[in-house]
Structure 1
Amino acid sequence: MKALRFSRHGAPDVLEYAEVEPPPIDADSALVRVHGASVNPSDVKNVAGHFAQTTLPRIPGRDFSGVVEQGPLAWRGKEVWGTGGDIGFVRDGTHAEYIRVPVAALVRKPAGLDHAQASAIGVNFVVAWLGVVDYAQLHAGETIAVIGAGGGVGGAVTQIAKSLGCRIIGIDRQPVDASSPAGKRIHAFVPFDTHTVAAVRSLDGLADGVDVVFDSVGGIAFETALGLAKRRGRVVEISATARRRVDFDLIDFYHNETQLLGADSAKLGVVASARLMQAVARGFDNGKFDAPVIAHRYALSQGRQAYEAVAEGTPGRVVIEP
C-alpha cells in the first residue's frame, strides 16, 4: 500500500510517499481502507519531534474515516471513523491507504457525514468532549466562555455546549463567522484583549463570572481564563500557546475556589477514544452538530503539501483522501 512515512523528525519535507506492506490483522483487529484522514496541527508537531513517545519509522495521522475490508464478519463493509493518541505515534497512523484498528475501537460513522467531513472531527471533538463533559461536567443552564471559539476545538466546544442547553460566550482575536457552526451557537462575542474579563463580566447576569472556561489557547490566555471564572468555577486548559510557564495570584485563586483542569486527548488511545466517538456520533445522527467545512483536499501523494498548509496556518480543515 501507499503511505506517508517519516524516519527522522523535521519539517514536512521529511515525509516520504512510500510503498509499504499492508498491516497484518489478527482476531482482535480489523483492516480499514482509509477514505479520509485530516491533518491536524498535532500531526505536524509529531513529525517535527514534539512528542517524546513517538517511535520511528512511523506513519503519522490520528483521525480517519473509512470502510472495514477485513475483520469480523459483522463489521465488513461498514463505514467507520475514529481517532487516537496512539495511532501515528506508537502505532502506524491514518495517512495511508489502510490502517489496522483494534476491533474494540470500531465505531460506525454518522450517516450524514461523508468521509472527508467525518475524518475532520476526531481530535477536535474528543478533546472538547473530554474537557467539557467528562472533566468540567458542564450541564444545562450554565454559562461557558470559550477562548479560541473560532478554532477547530473551540468550535467543537460551542456545539457540545449548545447541545447541553448552555449559554455560550465566544472569545477570540477576530469575530467568529456568524454562519459557522460556532458562530451560530454563541450568544455573545467578546474580543480577546486586555479588556476581555471586564467585557464578559459586564454582560447580563455575568458580573460574578462564568461557570466554566474552556481555554483552547493557554499560555498567553491563562490569566484571562482564571479571571473569567466565578467562585467555584471550572477552568479547562488544553494548550500553552507562546508561553509554557504562567504566573497568577495564588491567593485570588484559592479564595475563588477555582477548579483548574488539564485535558489531554493524546492520553486516550484509539480504543479509549471510541466511547467519546460514539457519543459524538449520536450528536451528529440526532442533528445536534454541524458538519465541518473542508477547505483543502489533497491526494495521499500530495501529503507534504497538506502538512505544509497546516504548518503555515492555512485557514480551514485540511484532509488527505487516499
Structure 2
Amino acid sequence: MQALQLTATGTLDALQMQDLPKPVPKDGEVLVEVRATGVNPSDIKNVLGRFPYTKPPVIPGRDFAGVIVDGPAELQGKSVWGGTGKGFGFYQDGCHSQYVAVPANAVALMPESLTFAQAATFGVPFITAWDALERSQVKAGTRFLIIGAGAVAKAAQSLAKAKGAEVVAAARRPEVVENLKAEGINALTLKDNDQLPEQAKENFGGNLPEVIFDTTGFWLAAAVNTVDTFGRIAVIAAPTDGMASLSSLNLYRRGGSIVGINSLLYSVEDCARMLEQIAEVFDGDLPIPDHFTEMPLSEAIAAYRKVSEGSSEKIVLIP
C-alpha cells in the first residue's frame, strides 16, 4: 500500500512516500480502507520532534474516515471515522496511508450526512474542543469567550452554539473578526491584555464570561483577570518556553479554575466515544464543514510543507 513514513525526527526531509505491506488486523481489530485523512499542526510537530514519545519509523497521521474491509462480519462495509488518541501516529502507525488497522472499538460510525473528506476534518479539532467544553462545563446559556480563530476555536464555536451557549469569539486581526461576524458569530478584535475585561463586558451585556477558552497560549494572564466569579479557563497551548506570568491573587479571589486540555491523554478508544457524542450533536445542529482543500495522498509531503509554512488552510489527503 502507499503510505507516508517518518524515518527520523527533526526535519520534514525525514518524510518519505513508501510502498509498504498492507496491515493485517489482529484479533479484536478491524482493517479500514482510508478514504480521507486530515493533516493537523500536531502532525508537523510530530515530524519536527516536538513529542518525546515519537518512535520512527512510523506512519504519521491522526484523523481518518474510511470503510471497514476486514474484521468482524457485522462491521465490514461500515463507514467509520476515528484516530486522534495517544500513540496513534506517534509510536504506532497512524493513518496517512491507504489502510490502517485499529481496535474495533477505536472507530465510530460516521454521520450519514458527511462525506469522507468532511469527516476527516473533525478528529483532533473537534475532540479537543469537545473535551474543553465538557471539562469547563459549557452548557445552554453559558457566557463563553473563545480566544483565537484556528481549527480548534472554530470547532468550539460550532459545538458551543449547538449546546445553546452565549458565544463570543476574539481574534487579533480585524479581517478575521469581520469574517466571523459574517458567519453569524459575535466577535471582537483583541487589543491590549488589560482591555480584555471591558471588551468582554461590552459583548456580554455588561457581564464577564463564565468560561474562557484560550486556544492561542498567549492570553492566559488576561483571561485570569477577565473570567467571572467561579469561572473556568481552558487552555490548549503555551508560549514556546512554556511559561506564563499571571496573577494567582486574582485567580483565587474570584474562585477561578484553569483547565488544561490535551487530546493525547486519551486513548483512540476514548476518542471514538467522543466522536459518537459529536455525531449525535452533529445531526441537525452543526454546520457541514466546507473550508478545506483536498490533496492526493501521493502529495502528502507537499501538504506537510504547506502546513509547516503557516497555512491555516485545512488539508485533507485522499488515498
TM-score by length of 2: 0.94
* Structure 1 segments (4+ residues) deviating >6 Å: 177-180
Q: In percent, how many aligned pairs have the same letter?
A: 32
Asked whether 1:297 is paired with 2:298, we answer no
The 1:120–1:241 alpha-carbon spacing in structure 2 relative to 1, beyond 3 Å, is farther
Please name the residue that 1:283 is paired with. Answer: 281
Alpha-carbon distance, 1:269 to partner = 1.9
What is the SS of the residue equivalent to 1:35?
Answer: strand
Mind listing any 5+ residue stretches in structure 2 that lack a counterpart? none
Please name the residue that 2:209 is paired with. Answer: 210
The 1:84–1:158 alpha-carbon spacing in structure 2 relative to 1, beyond 3 Å, is same
Distance in 2 of aligned mates of 1:12 and 1:313: 14
Asked whether 1:238 is paired with 2:236, we answer yes
Asked whether 1:263 is paired with 2:264, we answer no
Equivalent AA in structure 1 for residue 294 of structure 2: R
What is the SS of the residue equivalent to 1:235?
Answer: strand
Q: Deviations over 1:106-149 (max 9, x none)?
A: 2111111111111010000001000101x11111111100001x
Would you say the 8 A contact 1:294–1:319 is kept in 2? Answer: no
Alpha-carbon distance, 1:44 to partner = 0.3
Please name the residue that 2:113 is paired with. Answer: 112
What is the SS of the residue equivalent to 1:75?
Answer: coil
Asked whether 1:95 is paired with 2:96, we answer yes
Distance in 1 of aligned mates of 2:162 and 2:304: 32
What is the SS of the residue equivalent to 2:284?
Answer: coil
Distance in 2 of aligned mates of 1:128 and 1:321: 25
1:249 to 240, 247, 250: 247
Mind listing any 5+ residue stretches in structure 1 that lack a counterpart? none
Alpha-carbon distance, 1:279 to partner = 0.8
Please name the residue that 2:308 is paired with. Answer: 311
**Two-structure CA RMSD over aligned residues (Å):** 1.7
Would you say the 8 A contact 1:145–1:210 is kept in 2? Answer: yes
Alpha-carbon distance, 1:241 to partner = 4.0
Please name the residue that 2:124 is paired with. Answer: 123
Distance in 2 of aligned mates of 1:318 and 1:204: 34
Alignment of 1:128-143 (within 5 A): 128-133=129-134, 135-143=135-143
What is the SS of the residue equivalent to 2:304?
Answer: helix
Please name the residue that 1:184 is paired with. Answer: 183
Distance in 1 of aligned mates of 2:196 and 2:241: 19
Q: Deviations over 1:5-44 (max 9, x none)?
A: 0111133221110011111112200000101001000000
Please name the residue that 2:36 is paired with. Answer: 36
Equivalent AA in structure 2 for residue 292 of structure 1: P
Larger displacement relative to structure 2 (288-297 or 43-52): 288-297
Please name the residue that 1:11 is paired with. Answer: 11
Please name the residue that 1:166 is paired with. Answer: 165
**Alignment coverage as a number of residue pairs:** 315
Distance in 1 of aligned mates of 2:306 and 2:290: 16
What is the SS of the residue equivalent to 1:232?
Answer: coil
Distance in 2 of aligned mates of 1:183 and 1:234: 28
TM-score by length of 1: 0.93
The 1:294–1:251 alpha-carbon spacing in structure 2 relative to 1, beyond 3 Å, is closer
Equivalent AA in structure 2 for residue 255 of structure 1: R
The 1:246–1:22 alpha-carbon spacing in structure 2 relative to 1, beyond 3 Å, is same
Distance in 1 of aligned mates of 2:158 and 2:132: 13
Distance in 1 of aligned mates of 2:167 and 2:229: 18
Asked whether 1:196 is paired with 2:196, we answer yes
Distance in 2 of aligned mates of 1:191 and 1:137: 25
